[in-house]
Each structure stands twice: as C-alpha cells, then as structure tokens.
Structure 1
Amino acid sequence: MAEPLHELSAPTLVGLYRRREVSPVEVARSVLGHVERWEQYVHALYLLRPDQVMQQARASEARWLRGEPQGLIDGVPVTIKDNIATKGDPTPLGTAATELVPATADAPPAARVREHGGVVLAKTTMPDYGMLSSGLSSFHKLSRNPWDLAKTPGGSSAGAGSAAAAGYGPLHIGTDIGGSLRLPAGWCGIFTLKPSLGRVPIDPPYIGRAAGPMTRTVEDAALFMQVLSGADDRDSMSLPPQDIAWSAFDRGAEKLRGLRIGLLLEAGCGLAVEPEVRAAIERAAMILERAGAVVAPLKPFMTQGMLDGMDHFWRMRSHVDMRTLAPEVKARVLPYIQQWADSAAGMTGEAVYRAFHQFHLTRVAAVNACRPFDYVVSPVSPVPAPAAELPSATNDPLRPLEHIGFTVPFNMSEQPAASINCGYTSGGLPIGLQIVGKRFDDLGVLQVARAFEIVREPQRPWPLPPSEAIHHVD
C-alpha cells in the first residue's frame, strides 16, 4: 500500500510536485483529513482554518503548473508555534491573560516560510508564556502525546511536537530557551535541531532563545534549515548570513568514524536519570562506538546553583511582567505560573544579580566541558514524558526546572543541540538522545544525527489515531 500523502517527507513532496505526479491540493486535503481524525485527541493546533489552507494549496498548485515554484518548500504543509507571530493573527503566548491583537507582520521564521511557498496549516499550542515543559495552558486545550494520550507531549513547543508525531505533515517550527524544542522532540520520538544562537533569526530575540525545525526525520530538518536560516535584521542577535551546505547533511555512517564523543550520563543537577532512560542512552553510545566513534565519559559540569540561579532570574522576569497586568487579568494565568513568578517578589537587587550571573557561569562550564570532544551525547530528559495534566515533571512551582539540566546549558553556551529518538520505555514511550556540537557546527550536528538515524535500532511505527489503531489491531 502506498504511503499516505500526509506521511511523506518534504523533499519527497517537492519531487512529486516537480514531476506533476501529486498536487499540493491533494496533499493539503490528505493532511486536513488526517488532522480531523487526530485533533480531537491531541489538541495540537490553534487557528486551524481549512479554507485558508486550501487557498494556499491552490496558489501553490498554480505555480507548479506554470513551472515557477516560489521556493524550496512550495506547497509543503507547515505548522508554526503560537509565539511566532503571523500577520493578521493574534499571538496569545499560550495564556488567557494576553489581549488578542492581530500581529502587524510575520516574525522571521513565518516570513521565511511564506517566501518559500510553504502552506501554513495552523499555529501550534504552547503553555502560558512558554514557561512550562508541558501542554498545559490557560488559553489552549490541553495538548497530549500521540504515543500515549495520558502523557504530555512536552513543552513549551507542545503542539508542534504532538503534531509532528501525529503526522500533521512534515514540517513544524518550535522555539527553545531551555529545552522547549528538545524536550517535546524527545518525549514525542521526533527529531529537532536547536540551532546555534542566531542561526535562525527570531523576533523578539532573547538570551538563549532559538527557533528551529521539528520533524520526523533529519532529512526534513536539513531542508527546513535552508529556509529558516535566511537573514533577517530584526534579530539583533542573529549570525551573519552564511552559505551552509545543508544538503550535505547525509554523510552516512562514515561520519562517525574516528569522532571523539563525550558521554554525559548525569546532569549534575535536578532529577536523577531514570534507569530505562540511562539504559537507552548507554545503548546509543555502544551503537556509536560500533560505528567507529571513540566514546568517553564526560563528568557533570552543571551545578544545582546554576540551575537555581537561572530559575530565579526567570521568576523575576515573569514577576515583573505580570505586575503590569490588572489583578483580574493576572488571575487568568495558570495558578502554577502565578505562584512561581510571585515567589520572586522578595528578591533583592544583589540576589537578582547573583542569579543572572549563573547564565554566564553555565555558558563557560558548558564550553569548557565540551572542548575535548567533537560532539557530546546525553539524555534529553532524565525522565520519560510525565502525565499530561502536570505543569512540570515535579509538579512543584518551587522546583520547576529539575528536568532541564541536560538541555538548558546549551542554550546559554549557544551551541547547536539536537534530539533524536534512541529507544522506548517498557510502556512504549520514546526516549530522546541529545547530540551537541561546538558553536556554529549546526551542519555537523545534523550529520551526526543522520548517521545515528542510519545505525540506530529499528523504530516502532508512528502512532495512529485511536479509532484507526483499534481497526489496525483487528
């Protein structure tokens, strides 16, 4: 049986369009039909407007029929995270406290998608202000993990992770300031690349904040990076435009031969790594060794003080932001977020400074720890996906970041870091392997991830909507 159109990769779709074997209109219909079967269970999308999707698809079809495609992903379905502005649409930031005012312009990632002809399927859900690693939101419906609807997809790119795993087309955009691309990728079994800071321009820019592709395959992410890495001077932290050979992402398993890879099995802070997660990462390291890499242990370099300092600074930032809200508006924010932010009310100026200084200490520690190695691998998260209803893995607003000890340092060090599936728990939940490169080596991280994708253990079939899964078993 031929693979359904909504399951096909972006390069495959572009090739089919070029040969006039498939139309963007057919693909849009397939994706919309699949969304209709899944969305009632996972609640991944915001602003799903089928008429607008079909209008974009028909315009793309006309361009292909003229032999004048607009760009690299003309006619390919794309989802865009809630907090990435799209012109004419409100940007609720996942919270009922936001005034729904139409955006006046596309943010850089959305602008690049439109310039390259991508068909914007919908926006994707996120938690309040992006400050949770879950799909819990005071504005959106609770997002769930397609692998197990009782579990969270992760966050804050919750809907994007869920949409990619559920098969809502090949390309999805998320953002990440402490793990918000990699955590949902790890817990949903998909691939993502958190690029070097500034590689993908974003507006507004912020310390450690990156936008990146969320896809099922490394190939899709490599194509999407050609689109997303286009220049945009609205990002004051963006890197100079660089001609990177993204199409050379596939160097095969040979890429691994002789590489020095550091194996980080303990974060040095936060939650302990669960045995099933540790076992999966150790198996991945053995696979890398068998393929010719030289794997050596890497001692933890993070401290609880670093993690707590960043947490406390972010609390103060959110506390200051929420003080501008009228009491009745602030009351709409998730109580967990309110309690977390309000806990910073008594911090002194010295305490805020000391908290902020932990960002720099984390950056220096991460760079120094990675220096002896070409790449570093670790768990994405110390635990598998928690329950969907939990705001965080600990469910404690005074210990909210205990699960990001492996991911957050590489936001602060500005290094590229990917998540790729490397196994499953006994309950069938995906386990993510983080692959980290030196600053600016985004292509190298993609190449190592592609090599691992080739040599890793066989993957389980993607989850099906509950009704189809029952029929499939019968």
Structure 2
Amino acid sequence: MTETDLTIRELRQRFTDKSLSPLEYWLALEDHIAAWEPSISALYLYDPESARAQAKASTERWAKSETLGPLDGIPVTLKELIATRGQPVPLGTTAVELKPADADAPAAARLREDGAVIFAKTTCPDYGMLSSGLSSFHPLSRNPWNTTQNPGGSSAGASAAAAAGYGPLHIGTDIGGSVRLPAGWTGIFGFKPSHGRIPADPYYVGRCVGPMARTVEDAAFSMATLSRPDWRDGTSLPPNDFNWMDLDIDLSGMTIGLMLDAGCGLAVEDEIRAAVEAAAKQFEAAGATILSVQPVLTRAMLDGLDNFWRSRLWGDIADLDEERRDSILPYIRDWAKGGADIRGVDAVRGFNQTIEMRKSCGRLFTEVDALLSPTNPIISYPAEWASPTNDPALPFEHIAFTVPWNMSEQPAASINCGFSRSGMPIGLQIVGPRFDDMRVLRLSKAFEDWTGTLRSWPQPPIG
C-alpha cells in the first residue's frame, strides 16, 4: 500500500502526528493522477496549482492545530453537475452555454467550509442521463479495472477516480442509480442517502447527492460535513446529531429481504446472482433471517418514468437552436425527441408512476428491515457504449434494481461483493428504511468487515 491509498482516518492520523502533511500527500497524489488520467479521463477542470495552494494552507492550519473541520486537507472531487463558484457547469454536453456558476452548490460549500482540497470536477454524460462515461463534451471516461470497459454513470468520472485512487473521497449525484450503478461496476462503495439528507441544488424528484469511496468508513466520515442543511433545497432534512462513525450493528432478529428479480429490465447474469446469494448467506450467518421477496418495480412503472423523463428533457432542450440541439450526444438527443410526441396528460401519468414505485417500496418495508439485491444486472459493457443496451429505445433496462429507491426516498448503497471470471467487480445493493441512513452504512460496514476491505486495486499503466 502506498501513501495514495491512505483512508481519511489514516490521513488525519498522519497529519496529526506530523509524519505526513496535506501538501506532501497532495504532491504524491498529483503524480499518481498524472500516471492514470491519460488512460481513464475521469477529471474536468483539474487544477493541480490550486490544489497545491489549498494543501499548503491546510498544512499551515494543521501545524497550528487550527483546522477548519474534519475534512481539512483531504482531497475531494465533485461531479461536474455540482456547481462550484466561478466555474461553468456544462452538464456533460456541448449544447450548454458555458457560464461561471454564481455560487457553490450545497455539497461544495460544506466541503470548502471544512477545509477539503477541491482539486477537480469529475465527468458525466449529457445531462446526466446515461449510465456511461460517454459524453459530447468530456473525453470518454473508462473503467480502471479494464479500460476497454465502461465505468457506468452518470457519476462516471467519480467512480473511475475512486477506483483509480485519486484520493479517498468523491461526490456524485443519483436520480436513478447514478452513484450506485458506477460504484457496482468499478468495485467501490457508493452511498445514496435518504432524500434530503445531503442538500442538493438544483433539487429534483429523486435526485440525491452521495459520497463515493473505496471504503464504507470514508463515505461515512464525509456525512457529518455533507449532511448539514441548506435552505436552497426545500427537502433538506433537519440537522442531525448522528455519530456517523458509530458503525457497529447486531443483526440478531433482523429480517432482510433478498430480491434477485427486478421485475423488468435486463436479466441478472448468473455470476451476479451467485455473488449476491453468497453475500446473503453471510448476513444469515451473522444472525439475520433472509426472506426471498418479489420485485417492487413493474414494466408500467419503468415505462411511465421513461415517458416522464423524456418529456422533462425535451422541455429543457426544445428551445435550443438547431445547431446546439444537434450537438447533444445522438443517443440522448434521439431519446429525448420522443418527448415531443408525449401528451401532457401522459407525461403526468408517467410521473404518477413514481408514486406507484413509492407505494410498492413502502409495502415491502412493512415486511423487512433491510433489502439485498444486485446493484447491476450485467457484469460490464464496452466503454464506447452509451448504455448497457446501447439502444435509445431501451434506455433504462439496467436501472430496475436501483431507481425505485430514489422515488421512495430510501437510503441505498452499493458495495463490492466479488469479481466475475473476467476480473470485473460485482456490486451488492443494500437498502434501508427511509431516514435510517445509519442502518445502511452499518450493514455495509459489517459486510466489508466479513469480506475484508478490498486492497488489490487497479494500478496505473507503466510508461
């Protein structure tokens, strides 16, 4: 293990005992990023000069024991969709006019307040509407485990950066699985908290901000900072007094659902099914009762959401001039054009399917205390593909396990539960009741402790 693999806890200990400074750590990380970035293209607005200045200032604060907060000196990236003051937010597409943001979005503001070293934004596809590293604006982002493969998305760059070891913490967003899906495909831990737990601006139905990291503890550590309320998000939850690092749990008497069929979408591949079943047996061995459960999603729900999202995006891009609209990634442009033919009443009916998802999820959680499922139904897909189907007529066949929990506002995470014969990571999704973010983190940490923290991460290319 090298300095660039240190966790937040380890870094804070090294900063405290003066065996490593934030600046020394950053300079090592800068070299590591330089070795990786040409191969995976995870970053946007990467600014090592600014990072050096931020790390130097943090080093001086640590020397005086006058740190700003728990993340002082910790390098962090933010997904491109999360605004940072004075920098453009292209939304992953060449169709957007580049204008500097007036203010930091809530997550960026909280990280800055606590002294984090914000050194880059991370890539995403056009309008964040793909589970892919493909974008009309950014270079193609790739999966560090195998650069011919996709890192998933829409938090594509964040997942690639975390897997490649660009520091311990990366912040993504998730409206249908965009933190968890790429986490599953890159072997990292991705946490989508309860809706409103981490304030988001702009707010949207189902949209959450969440940490992406190599370990559960690093993600949990960030929550004290990220979960402070912000008036700009009308769904922002009240201040909490959680001890986010209290991660012990007793599974005795707990009933955990096991869902291996999403109800629609892509079929679960055999290797994924076997890995998730093996994970469930570990929870059972720890004292939980495992209950096989039926899907919460139906074809009507997923198709209704498709209609609603097409209509929404078409409403955003319909007034663009033809040249700008034609510059959108063709897959997304062609998909969104279908929204032009959707009647208003049908768009509303599509939105109403999000309420049906919420009811279905709520009904299931009258029977279980938590849920296990695959994160992704398939092992991997080519880096150049826009989605696992690569078909704009079938855009959401891969989100059937993840999207219901956005609409029900429940916390959910993806954690690595093994590898395929091809050497690609497999993700286990863990879902908890609404507002019980700690349960998901504790169950995730228990599984991580049983299986051992992943240590054999991909290494940068030589030469």
TM class by shorter-chain length?
Answer: over 0.9
**Aligned partners of 2:180 and 2:402 also within 8 Å:** yes
After superposition, where does 1:127-166 map in structure 2 within 5 Å? Answer: 127-166=125-164
SS at match of 1:246: coil
Residue 390 of structure 1 and its aligned partner are, at CA, apart by 0.6
Equivalent in the alignment of 1:181 = 179
Equivalent in the alignment of 1:472 = none
1:427 corresponds to which letter in structure 2?
A: S
- Is 2:423 aligned against 1:428? yes
Equivalent of 2:29 in 28, 31, 53: 31
**Aligned partners of 2:110 and 2:225 also within 8 Å:** yes
1:56 corresponds to which letter in structure 2?
A: Q
- Give the TM-score taking structure 2 as reference length: 0.98
Equivalent in the alignment of 2:285 = 290
- Is 2:401 aligned against 1:403? no
Equivalent in the alignment of 2:196 = 198
After superposition, where does 1:303-322 map in structure 2 within 5 Å? Answer: 303-322=298-317
Residue 4 of structure 1 and its aligned partner are, at CA, apart by 1.8
Give structure 1 stretches of 5+ with no counterpart. 469-474
Q: How far, CA to CA, are the matches of 1:454 and 1:242 in structure 2?
A: 26
Equivalent in the alignment of 1:224 = 222
- Is 2:407 aligned against 1:412? yes
Q: How far, CA to CA, are the matches of 1:62 and 1:458 in structure 2?
A: 32
Q: How far, CA to CA, are the matches of 2:198 and 2:259 in structure 1?
A: 27
- Is 2:436 aligned against 1:441? yes
Sort the Cα spacing of 1:307 and 1:40 in 2 relative to 1 into closer, same or farther, 3 A. Answer: same
Equivalent of 1:456 in 451, 456, 460: 451
Residue 39 of structure 1 and its aligned partner are, at CA, apart by 0.3
* Alpha-carbon RMSD: 1.1
Equivalent in the alignment of 1:93 = 91
Q: How far, CA to CA, are the matches of 1:115 and 1:121 in structure 2?
A: 15
2:83 corresponds to which letter in structure 1?
A: A
Equivalent in the alignment of 1:245 = 243
The 10-residue stretch of structure 1 (177-186 or 323-332) with the greater mean CA deviation from structure 2: 323-332
Q: Deviations over 1:249-288 (max 9, x none)?
A: 2x1xx53333210000000011111111111101111111
Equivalent in the alignment of 1:471 = none
Residue 465 of structure 1 and its aligned partner are, at CA, apart by 1.1
SS at match of 1:466: coil
Residue 48 of structure 1 and its aligned partner are, at CA, apart by 0.8
Equivalent of 2:55 in 39, 47, 57: 57
SS at match of 1:32: helix
SS at match of 2:434: coil
Equivalent in the alignment of 1:7 = 5
Q: How far, CA to CA, are the matches of 1:451 and 1:266 in structure 2?
A: 24
Residue 291 of structure 1 and its aligned partner are, at CA, apart by 1.7
Residue 345 of structure 1 and its aligned partner are, at CA, apart by 1.3
1:413 corresponds to which letter in structure 2?
A: S
Q: How far, CA to CA, are the matches of 1:445 and 1:369 in structure 2?
A: 16
Residue 192 of structure 1 and its aligned partner are, at CA, apart by 1.3
The 10-residue stretch of structure 1 (344-353 or 36-45) with the greater mean CA deviation from structure 2: 344-353
Q: How far, CA to CA, are the matches of 1:464 and 1:301 in structure 2?
A: 39
1:438 corresponds to which letter in structure 2?
A: P
Q: How far, CA to CA, are the matches of 1:48 and 1:366 in structure 2?
A: 40
**Aligned partners of 2:164 and 2:459 also within 8 Å:** yes
**Aligned partners of 2:215 and 2:453 also within 8 Å:** no
SS at match of 1:80: strand
Equivalent in the alignment of 2:383 = 388
SS at match of 2:140: coil
Q: How far, CA to CA, are the matches of 2:208 and 2:422 in structure 1?
A: 32
**Aligned partners of 1:134 and 1:156 also within 8 Å:** yes
Equivalent in the alignment of 2:327 = 332
Residue 460 of structure 1 and its aligned partner are, at CA, apart by 6.1
Residue 458 of structure 1 and its aligned partner are, at CA, apart by 7.4
Equivalent in the alignment of 1:76 = 74
Q: How far, CA to CA, are the matches of 1:448 and 1:108 in structure 2?
A: 27
Q: How far, CA to CA, are the matches of 2:78 and 2:328 in structure 1?
A: 23
Q: Deviations over 1:139-171 (max 9, x none)?
A: 000000000101110100000000000000001
**Aligned partners of 1:152 and 1:386 also within 8 Å:** yes
Aligned residues: 463
Residue 370 of structure 1 and its aligned partner are, at CA, apart by 2.2
Residue 466 of structure 1 and its aligned partner are, at CA, apart by 2.2
Sort the Cα spacing of 1:141 and 1:66 in 2 relative to 1 into closer, same or farther, 3 A. Answer: same
Residue 457 of structure 1 and its aligned partner are, at CA, apart by 6.5
Residue 104 of structure 1 and its aligned partner are, at CA, apart by 1.0
**Aligned partners of 1:80 and 1:122 also within 8 Å:** yes
**Aligned partners of 1:45 and 1:123 also within 8 Å:** yes
Residue 6 of structure 1 and its aligned partner are, at CA, apart by 1.4
Q: Deviations over 1:406-433 (max 9, x none)?
A: 0000000000001000011110100000
Equivalent in the alignment of 1:343 = 338
Residue 333 of structure 1 and its aligned partner are, at CA, apart by 0.4
SS at match of 2:339: coil
Q: How far, CA to CA, are the matches of 2:74 and 2:27 in structure 1?
A: 12
Q: How far, CA to CA, are the matches of 2:118 and 2:39 in structure 1?
A: 21
SS at match of 1:175: strand
1:238 corresponds to which letter in structure 2?
A: S
Equivalent in the alignment of 1:107 = 105
What is the aligned-residue identity percentage?
Answer: 54
The 10-residue stretch of structure 1 (7-16 or 130-139) with the greater mean CA deviation from structure 2: 7-16
SS at match of 2:291: strand
Q: How far, CA to CA, are the matches of 1:84 and 1:68 in structure 2?
A: 28
Q: How far, CA to CA, are the matches of 1:134 and 1:142 in structure 2?
A: 9
The 10-residue stretch of structure 1 (404-413 or 254-263) with the greater mean CA deviation from structure 2: 254-263
Q: How far, CA to CA, are the matches of 1:49 and 1:30 in structure 2?
A: 15
Q: How far, CA to CA, are the matches of 2:240 and 2:426 in structure 1?
A: 33
Equivalent in the alignment of 2:38 = 40
Equivalent in the alignment of 1:258 = 253
1:32 corresponds to which letter in structure 2?
A: E
**Aligned partners of 2:296 and 2:404 also within 8 Å:** no
Q: How far, CA to CA, are the matches of 1:258 and 1:193 in structure 2?
A: 25
**Aligned partners of 1:256 and 1:451 also within 8 Å:** no
Q: How far, CA to CA, are the matches of 2:417 and 2:360 in structure 1?
A: 26
Give structure 2 stretches of 5+ with no counterpart. none
The 10-residue stretch of structure 1 (293-302 or 347-356) with the greater mean CA deviation from structure 2: 347-356
Q: How far, CA to CA, are the matches of 2:423 and 2:88 in structure 1?
A: 37
SS at match of 2:204: coil
